[in-house]
Structure 1
């Protein structure tokens, strides 16, 4: 209870100091900005008075910072502070108002606003100081006059008391780098007591050699080392892909703000001054390890997301042409193209219905799947675009979505390869034959559907290609007049026929 009361007293003191410190820090911050602005743009004649305001603001903050070190047994702190603050506050107010009067008209709007803000903050500081209760009242049985601060202190005490119910400490593998044997030994013993696995290195070079063969969750590195200082070691770690994710806490007796900033800029996770407070060390290491584990989880989740994304992308490429996938990724909503000249191919397995009726489902699906998978491979080999399968029929196109001048030649070569594959694939099973029809001409190609994307083609050219197949002969390739003309001199060994085709009438076809 004594400890809880002491924490409560310190919180109340800190709250009073904070209420006074906030406007004081604002004054100092704005005054620094004002001087920077005047040095760049003028009026330079105002600088002497503004420098006096800056010195007074720094003195003001130093006095207030002293209140934070007040012990519970000390009394009269606020009374003394009220008296001591008058001098810098009077200087800030007096010189700021003098600058506003003397340089009226030559100050920019921003400078006028900032100086006015300093004057307002100074008056607010005086008001806060006059409201502050005596420090001695914290230690009597009487209630503080500021009920809000008392409530805040009580809440903080309860929060501190609830810390014991937190989750158990997490441990990790820690690399300690320090050229002083006693320092690294002390650190290793402290960390070992907390259950961490600790490896020590006496120099930056030794630390790099250890990292080549071992993995660590955290590194503690001294800044001042002879062969390679801590900032240089940090640079090596952050520039190496294998080590850059290791959190590094810098440790040093160097009381230099610039060194701290440089370490954080170079990628340090945290900074601890020497001599190291064991409680603070434990808290910082726990926080670093927890952040490291969260980052590892994030990397794992991102990796899983990327894997699923790649898998979905591969599936999309298996269903749609690559160019169409790219257009979808770029946000194109309606994908539709008029292709002036392409060649459409239909291949249908003859008597497949009778074969399906007497064949077990698993055998049927396995045989058809193996056959069409081989057709897909041949389509890639001959530069054909598979459109779809319709039951036991296979539909492909040449010359879309990317145009090609030899679309007819590619389709006929692909058709011949299909017949060869069909003959090769029969084996001991009941023989199956293929009937193929080809037609060339203009088509409409596009993507339809949202639940299940389908890239399809439409038009008279597609319908006639289907007729070429359905009126064809098993084991042969039947092509239309337009395909025959597109083939030109490359068409050899064909048999011309005149057929009566439903919906079209008499039509000249060619059998290959």
Structure 2
């Protein structure tokens, strides 16, 4: 006596799906024929096809009910397979005989365009008849496999679901009901993977009628070849196939960067919740149990395709953002180069020009002083060349030699004195070393301001004051020159560069000036960014 519920469940599932394979084919093909004839409701063939379709639905209901392991006690079949088989035949033969009879009449009378599908219905019905007549032997063979331990066989008792893997599973779907509100599809490239050619043909034709472009594959290797050659929007995958089954193929796809973004819907004859969970864990978009409700499948397909479209848009959006970010970075880099050239090289060249003009003026009247100015100009020329080299080096590497802030400001003040004869008043109160970014920003601001003063201000006094606290540092540069109208002044690289540098460190920049009142630049930088 067999006592294991696992054996009962596996046996019933095996028999049920073996019988449902041809039943699904008769349902699907008869539904498609009825759809083709819907414009001819008075056709003499419509009534016969409706009887075939109705009997096919009846067969599906009978098989699902009779072979339900929840409803059927094991004692009803254990040791009494002959009686069980006879009762099953008695229930199924009447609607099955009706299908065969009407199909044979239609094959004799129907027009040529209906014959191929009628022939498929006739073949499927005879396949089902053969299975029903041999149901006892089929059940005995399966019981033998389930109850005979074999370490070389995947059909071990502790893995009841693997029993179904011996046979080719079916993927058959009814066409959408003509009264369904789902009348349009959004289109898309779909790959159907099923080792049963009838299932592939039926599902492919149904999906094409809904507006999809469909390709079929009868095994995993063929599916992989197609995926490498064609870009698909969705994969409908049979879980049970020979050699590489659907779950193995799904796992391979989700581990491959080329295919992991393609949604896959698994359609399986396996009823256990464990299989459904496994599919989802492996990355399936959805899981449907055979036989599928066609309207439900259509809804799942539409949802999966919409998700993929949204994912594709998100990927495109991210690529566009990355492109714009790279473009913005390139623009910022060009601006930075412009600031570097203006701040460093521009300063040296301006001072050089002043020295050369002074030398030219004194060349005849005071050659000694002119020679002094030329010497300074030569030094500034070397400085300018060094600035060019440093700018080039700065573009090639981020490694820079850091100098104390006070020393860099003192060097700028000495250069300013040599050019203008004005010694800036410097007052620096620093409580801690400054970070490179803060030190460099303040250095460039002082450098640019002194350059502007020497070129335009006609000042006689310059003050450079800086005070640092625990959280911020303030810089104030004041001159008593002629000043200018800040509202009318066109912002060039000088002021603009200073403002951009301060903004980059989340600082504050303030300019105070007016004609005849000198100029004051105030900068406040946070030290929390150090």
Same structural fold, with TM-score higher than 0.5 when normalized by the shorter chain: no
Q: Give the TM-score of the pair, scaled to structure 2.
A: 0.35
Which structure has the highest strand share of the two?
1
Q: Give TM-score, length-normalised by structure 1.
A: 0.36
